[in-house]
Amino acid sequence: MTITEFNEILDFAIEREKEAVDFYKNLQQEAKFKAHKEMLAELEAMEMGHIVVIESIRQKGVKPEDIQKSPNLKISEYLTKELDSEELSYQNILVKAMKREEKLL
């Protein structure tokens, strides 16, 4: 892998993380309960933290032997229930997030 390819992958990852930040920010506007809004804010903060980590990786660089392949557990593929968009329960928030991530792969 060239440094250019490596940086393109990091750019792609950062863009997906920024989209996730916006996704959780928008869901906070839809959430009706304080606990749900707080959880969504935490998820948003995690995604922003991922951006910091990715930028740190870019600055440090990486060796080919440092790259490990992670298996896809395909958890979201077992979730077939259609979500009630009006009910943003804890479970529905997590399912919605997993389905969003699944679409991006």
* Reduced 3-state DSSP string for the chain: CCHHHHHHHHHHHHHHHHHHHHHHHHHHHHCCCHHHHHHHHHHHHHHHHHHHHHHHHHHHCCCHHHCCCCCCCCHHHHCCCCCCCCCCCHHHHHHHHHHHHHHHC
Question: What's the rounded Cα separation, in Å, for the pair 75 and 72?
Answer: 8
Sorted by where each begins, the domain ranges of the chain are: 3-104
- On the question of pLDDT at 105 being above 80, the answer is no
Q: What pLDDT sits at residue 81?
A: 62
pLDDT tens readout for residues 50-72: 999 999 998 988 777 776 777 87
- Region of poorest pLDDT, from 27-31, 58-62, 76-80, 83-87: 83-87
